[in-house]
Structures are given as C-alpha cells and as structure tokens.
A and B are shown apart, each in its own frame.
Chain A
C-alpha cells in the first residue's frame, strides 16, 4: 500500500509560538490530502481538505488563520498551527488518497503528530 509520513511525530512548544507539521506521500502523488484532529476521546475531526496548488477547504468551525495549510507539491502538505495555545494541544493526523485508489475512496494515513503547548 501507499505510504504517508508525518514529521515531527511529537512536538512541545511554548504558548504563542507557531509549529509546522509536514505530511509527505512517499511513493505516490497525492493531489488531495486531508488533515484530521483527534481529541482525547478518540473521535477524528476533519479539519480541512488540502488540494495541491490551490487553497485548502476548511470545515466549519476550523479557524483558517490559526491552522494554515499549504500543499505546494504533489507529495507534501504542511499544517502550521500559528500562535499556539494549550487548547491546541492534540493529535494531528494527515491522510492522502493515492489516485490508484480513487474508486474505493481508501485513504492512507500518516503516523500522527502529538502537539503539546505549554
């Protein structure tokens, strides 16, 4: 199957700083990537859909200016948490769709990034 890699896997930062998380598709080109946030009670919340070469589409209630998403190439999408605060602490997971799996809708997930804001 296709491989998606996230970096860093965990990060601790001070309140008010910005943190960038990278999501890479290692062996396929991903025109679309998705960013999820996972809350302590397991549920996955879709934050945004990242499209290569265009602006991301954010889900209702997600602050565009706080969670900046850039998808500059077919293998890389980045999520930047700007001016992070403790309430932004969470597990962020990216996923991508290999075009060869478009018909089934299957997504491939990164390992996740644990953000802790002090």
Chain B
C-alpha cells in the first residue's frame, strides 16, 4: 500500500543553519506530494506541494523537489530561523482514489535556537 517515511527527529539547529528533512514514499501511480507544518498547539498548514515528477514546490524559503526516480520529496531550507521551529509532516495523496485522505509520515520536530 501507499506509505510515507520521513526522518526521525528531533532536528536541532542553530539559526541560519541549512535544513534537510528527508522524505521518501511508496505509491502506485503518480501521487501528489505535500509538506505540512504544525506550530505548537495549532492545526496543520500547507507549506508546499508538488503534483508531478520534477516539480519543485517552494514557500517561505523552503523547497522540495518531486523525485520520481528516487521516490523522494526532501524538504530543504538554506537558512533556518527560530520561527521555523515546528513539526513538519510529509504527505501524499492516493493517485488512484482521489477522494481519500492524505497519507502522512510520522512528523519531524525541528527546533531552532538563536
């Protein structure tokens, strides 16, 4: 079945450091891929998305490229800020059953210190 695997956290960085959070997926067909962010005590917000191979999603300095050959969608940011501290979820949509819920990874906690 479809699944998402993302790196275990927590990830602890200093301000302005480079961030990578790995995400790989298993799916039949061509899913859309997403990164969601959850700030403490809040729901999830869409950070970026990519709907087909080689697409690059970007938002707020974060980027992720849909790599079909490696079934990956790694999240990157060149210079993190304290305000980026949150939990990040990688997710995919079932490419066969369009009306179904997203499939999420377990989440990675990012903690950025000044």
Contact residues of A with B, CB < 8 Å?
Answer: 1, 4, 6, 32, 34, 36, 41-44, 46, 49, 93, 95, 97, 102-112, 114
The 8 Å CB contact of A105, one of B32, B36, B45, is B32
Give B2-48 interface residues, CB cut-off 8 Å to A. 31-32, 34, 36, 41-46
Alpha-carbon gap, A46 to B91, bound state (A): 13
Alpha-carbon gap, A106 to B98, bound state (A): 10
Number of A-B contacts (CB under 8 A): 60
**Chain B residues positioned under 8 Å from A109 (CB to CB):** 36, 43-45
B96 to chain A, nearest CB (A): 11
Contact residues of B with A, CB < 8 Å?
Answer: 31-32, 34, 36, 41-46, 49, 51, 87, 89, 92-94, 98-102, 104, 106-107, 109
**Chain B residues positioned under 8 Å from A105 (CB to CB):** 31-32, 92-94, 98, 102
Alpha-carbon gap, A104 to B95, bound state (A): 9
B107 near A106 with CB under 8 A, answer no
Alpha-carbon gap, A32 to B97, bound state (A): 13
Alpha-carbon gap, A95 to B106, bound state (A): 17
Query: Can you name 13 A-B pairs with beta carbons within 8 Å?
Result: A1-B46, A34-B101, A42-B87, A43-B104, A44-B104, A46-B101, A93-B43, A97-B99, A103-B51, A104-B51, A105-B94, A109-B44, A112-B41
Alpha-carbon gap, A43 to B109, bound state (A): 11
Closest 9 CB pairs of A and B: A105-B93, A42-B107, A109-B44, A109-B43, A112-B43, A34-B101, A111-B43, A104-B32, A105-B32
